[in-house]
Amino acid sequence: MTGRKFTVQGTNNSFICGHCGAEVQPLQNGSVRNHCPVCLHSKHVDVMPGDRACDCHGLMKPVGAEQSGKKGWVIVHRCQKCGFTGRNKAALDDPQQPDSWDALIAVTTQRRE
């Protein structure tokens, strides 16, 4: 993964969460929203961050969270369809719809499956 750089290639659209049904608004900071700010679930749609080129479309469950010096909090997701594990930066500072701090703390204390 050396030399990989995040580039926003996709579109920053609103969506309905496939897990909890929340209406999710686009991020306001120029990045691409990739998980629900309420329950932190995601959908397996990217090959590279933001490209929306993956055809799996499985529900990605938050299975952990880590503190990163450069990125802040990072949510660890595992695809319930294909088993892929990925990491996504938490959007705790989004002015319109920030990620739930309570949900993030809950995922850090849950037992990994």
pLDDT of residue 6: 43
Distance CA 61, CA 17 (A): 12
pLDDT tens for 67-92 read 988 889 999 999 999 999 999 899 99
pLDDT tens for 4-53 read 444 445 567 788 999 999 999 988 877 778 899 999 999 998 887 777 78
pTM over the 0.85 mark: no
What are the C-alpha distances in Å from 55 to residues 66, 93, 102? Answer: 27, 30, 31
